[in-house]
Amino acid sequence: MSNILDCAIVGGGPAGLTAGLYTTRGGLENVTMFEKGMPGGQITQSSEIENYPGVTGEITGMDLMMPWPEQCQKFGLKHDMSEVKQIRKDGDIFTVIKSDDSLIHAHSVIVCTGSSPRRAGFAGEDEFFGKGVSTCATCDGFFYKGKEVAVIGGGDTALEEALYLAKICTKVYLVHRRDTFRAAPNTVKRVEENDKIELVLNSVPDEVYGDAMGVNGVKVKDKEGNIRDIEVPGVFVFVGNDVNNQTLIQEDGSFLCDVNDQGQVIVDLSMKTSVPGLFAAGDMRIEAPKQVVSAAGDGAVAGIAAISYVDELLN
Ligand code: FAD
Ligand code: NAP
């Protein structure tokens, strides 16, 4: 088989781009990154990032990611602006199937397709996403220091993030659609005992409203249809998360490599999956901190591991 890539990188967010930098700069000569949209990943949706080490001052996610592709291309990374439909392995060779059904073959694959926070589906949620509606308290909580915020959801993430936000904000309205929580009992107890958290139960967001400056509040509706207007500049939505693992699903519905019950890819400390030559990095892996810096770190680790794998395979 001719023209086999040394490494195919699927996804061009912080993990994929860093994997591209490390594989090419580390000596792999034939590496292509497949990205269905603009490179940069989900952080490009963020109006401000202030926790990427060494980057001070006001910077948008787009600004942060802008130079990354150019840096990779300097070392030889090729960029294919395509969606990948499926990754397969036959013998030692991987096949990457693009959405136009064309096939690419590779000795190794680093999959970095990230994850997508679920949207709750209320009016204004999409319009104000990144402008007051957020799905990341670690990222955006600090913008509401000394202010009030609302949190939507009743699982572990919502309650843990509500506790985190209560340390920064003056008050957290925890809006949940039932009167019992899915979260661990101890977390529920800590939330119930926290004076800064007000529980708004049996209620769902009806509408987030605001203006050109961002969110001004969220209207929530209870089971009787009563509307309550909660005036807050920040609304955090934690209604679950979907791992973008579709490319790993095989014809028979099984996954190419081991995943846990939430669909997150199981990796070791070298980002190796259960399939030799297949690596996973960033938000899609187990126990991902879901941060740009850790996704980039994963990409570097996976890139280094892929170089060793290809060297051993071919020499
Ligand atoms: P992603 O960034 O999700 O990148 C995955 C890439 O894969 C995407 O570009 C996608 O288009 C591509 N892709 C997916 N499927 C396919 C396919 N089938 N074929 C081809 N390409 C595909 N983190 C911080 O550290 N600090 C912050 O302040 C911060 N703020 C955030 C604010 C917002 C609004 C959001 C949404 C996230 C924020 N995060 C922040 C989290 C951070 O963006 C993620 O942790 C990080 O981007 C994960 O990187 P990744 O490379 O694993 O995945
Ligand atoms: P989750 O457990 O699926 O909880 C999602 C929450 O959002 C539920 O309370 C759900 O309500 C609510 N919800 C869903 N769709 C909604 C909508 N459209 N509008 C309003 N509310 C909606 O998600 P998660 O909290 O992200 O947790 C995911 C998994 O990770 C879980 O297994 C969790 O245990 C685990 N996790 C564990 C830890 C930990 O162990 N420390 C921390 C975080 C996450 P209902 O309850 O009514 O369905």
Strands 203-211 and 197-200: unpaired
Superfamily of domain 5-116+241-314: FAD/NAD(P)-binding domain (3.50.50.60)
DSSP of 202-225: SEEEEEEEEETTEEEEEEEEETT-
What pLDDT digit, counting tens, does each position of 2-40 carry? 589 999 999 999 999 999 999 999 999 999 999 999 999
Nearest atom, ligand 2, residue 178 CA: 47
Output the pLDDT for position 57.
83
Nearest atom, ligand 1, residue 44 CA: 43
SS3 107: strand
| Matching fold, domains 5-116+241-314 and 119-237 | yes
| Structural domain boundaries in the chain | 5-116+241-314, 119-237
What pLDDT digit, counting tens, does each position of 159-201 carry? 999 999 999 999 999 999 999 999 999 999 999 999 999 999 9
Per CATH, is 119-237 categorized as 3.20.20.100? Answer: no
Pull the structure tokens for residue 33: 């990154």
What pLDDT digit, counting tens, does each position of 210-227 carry? 999 999 999 999 999 999
Please name the residue whose Cα sits nearest to atom 18 of ligand 1.
Answer: 84
Please name the residue whose Cα sits nearest to atom 12 of ligand 1.
Answer: 11
Instruction: Spell out a b/e string for 195-212, using b for 16 or more CB atoms within 10 Å of the CB, else e.
Output: eebebbeebbbbebbbee
Exposed, middle or buried: residue 240 (CB in 10 Å: 0-12, 13-18, 19+)?
middle
